[in-house]
Amino acid sequence: MTRKITIASQKGGVGKTAVTINLAYSLRRLGKKVLIVDGDPQGGVATACRLKNLNSKGLVQVLNGEQSLVDVIVPLDGDDLAVIGTGIAAPEDIVFFEEQALARKLGPLFEGDLSAYDFVLFDAPVGVGAVTRELFSISDSFIQVLNCRAGTVITLAKLLNLYIWIRNNFNPELKIEGILFNMLNSSSVIENKIVKQLKSRLPAKLFFDTSIPFADVFEVASIKALPLEKLKAGHRVARDFMTLAVEVDTRKHQFVGDLLVGDDSDFTPMAEAQDEDSSRATLQHRDDIKDALQELCESGGFYGAVVADEMGFPLADYHSPIGVDALATCSSLLGEALVKAGSIIEMSEVNNLIMDINGEDKLVLHRFSMLEEGYVLVAVCPQDVDAIGEIGLAAARIVNSLS
């Protein structure tokens, strides 16, 4: 049976196109027949496969009735690998392509018989627009490509929200194939920490075991418009793509994403995630933390407060002063900034940041350790409150009550 997989990300330049192409070549090596579809109006696949030299017709010509889908399939390096380009040649084609996606005309092109292929891989454009929605609507599953940079959590949150929305409204069968870390620098302390934390906060089966390292050879491959397996210097990373291809081939969606679905709230999977790390705060702990935050607000003069881990995953809140998305960005950015600042001025602890909000109120961010992990307590209060003293006491109370 043909498996249709969209390769997507909320953030640009994370390696979707590179992953699509190299995964396609690796699946082919496993003996699979693979069709790559360029779903990006920027035409990343077309460039990477030198498609313009082979055939300039593509989805645009199918959408305007000039060609049939079969006619725009271009064999790529043998019979078992083929590609469909966007067929975009002029700026008006981009507008037409996006309008067609908006009118829900793109997805149905792929509802016909594609049984000649074991896999159809769609390279999605960046973000969560109409084209991505169309690709998700006709895919069996998607691969989320992620880099381990500050702000990672917020991009993950947005794409997972889109996933839930698509399942609820367009394609109840859509599964998450997996989250793939690309451009990973395994010697970076921060990147390793982000991977570890994300894996401990979300269901482990959401992640591929394989990750793709950062490697200069990708640039050479881009310039030469070749897959990594065709470059001697690319063989090591091509092996990683083989491992990934085996994972994709054998996963067969057993893990599904149902853990994330069926909940009305916008983005609860992090808080609900099953926790295999016994050192982390339990639900009982969360109640204790919430009590401490309530006390901080009621007796310390704060409007609201929240405790989150360093990735921005909230643990407990009282009249939360800040949204999950904002918190994730804020704490991961600040986390990185604090680590850098700490190393620059040789201070092990840089803490207690105060931000003016509107001239009258301020936001205070206090970092503390609990159960051997770093956390942040963020609270909002009037300018004249002794925020640092109170927030330090609240954090100490939380740590004491849990130890």
Ligand X SMILES: Nc1ncnc2c1ncn2[C@@H]1O[C@H](COP(=O)(O)OP(=O)(O)OP(=O)(O)O)[C@@H](O)[C@H]1O
Nearer to ligand X (CB atom), residue 43 or residue 321: 43
Q: Is 215 exposed, middle or buried (0-12, 13-18, 19+ CB in 10 A)?
A: middle
Q: Which residues bind ligand X (CB under 6 A)?
A: 9, 12-18, 40, 44, 126, 182-183, 212, 214-215, 218-219, 222
Helices marked H in 202-320 — which ranges?
Answer: 217-224, 235-251, 269-272, 283-300
279: helix, strand or coil: coil
Nearer to ligand X (CB atom), residue 43 or residue 300: 43
Beta bridge partners of residue 5, listed in sequence order: 121, 141
* 183: partner contacted, choices ligand X, Mg ion, none (Cβ within 5-8 A by kind): ligand X
Residue 309 to residue 368: CA distance in whole angstroms = 10
Nearer to Mg ion (CB atom), residue 47 or residue 67: 47
Nearer to ligand X (CB atom), residue 16 or residue 28: 16
Q: Which residues bind Mg ion (CB under 5 A)?
A: 16-17, 44
| Terminal Cα-to-Cα distance of the chain (whole angstroms) | 54
What are the backbone angles phi and psi of residue 36, rounded to the nearest 5°? -100, 135
Both tokens assigned to 70: 């079969």
146 CB-near residues (< 8 Å, 6+ apart): 9, 14, 152, 155, 156, 179, 180, 181, 182
Task: Compute the least distance from the CB of residue 45 to Mg ion, in Å.
Answer: 8
Task: Compute the least distance from the CB of residue 182 to ligand X, in Å.
Answer: 5
Task: Compute the least distance from the CB of residue 17 to Mg ion, in Å.
Answer: 3
Task: Compute the least distance from the CB of residue 145 to Mg ion, in Å.
Answer: 10
Nearer to Mg ion (CB atom), residue 26 or residue 197: 26
Residue pair 375/279 in contact (Cβ under 8 Å)? The answer is: no
Task: Compute the least distance from the CB of residue 280 to ligand X, in Å.
Answer: 30
Task: Compute the least distance from the CB of residue 152 to ligand X, in Å.
Answer: 14
Nearer to ligand X (CB atom), residue 217 or residue 393: 217
* 182: partner contacted, choices ligand X, Mg ion, none (Cβ within 5-8 A by kind): ligand X
Nearer to Mg ion (CB atom), residue 4 or residue 16: 16
Helix (H) or strand (E) holding 313: none
Both tokens assigned to 28: 């082919």
* 84: partner contacted, choices ligand X, Mg ion, none (Cβ within 5-8 A by kind): none
Report the candidate in 70, 142, 156 with the shortest Cα–Cα distance to residue 112: 70
* 211: partner contacted, choices ligand X, Mg ion, none (Cβ within 5-8 A by kind): none
* 192: partner contacted, choices Mg ion, ligand X, none (Cβ within 5-8 A by kind): none
Number of Cβ atoms within 10 Å of the Cβ of 74: 19
* 382: partner contacted, choices Mg ion, ligand X, none (Cβ within 5-8 A by kind): none
* 300: partner contacted, choices ligand X, Mg ion, none (Cβ within 5-8 A by kind): none
Task: Compute the least distance from the CB of residue 153 to ligand X, in Å.
Answer: 18
316 CB-near residues (< 8 Å, 6+ apart): 286, 287, 289, 290, 293, 306, 307
Task: Compute the least distance from the CB of residue 216 to ligand X, in Å.
Answer: 7
Say if strands 119-123 and 314-318 run parallel, antiparallel, or are unpaired.
unpaired
Nearer to Mg ion (CB atom), residue 20 or residue 55: 20
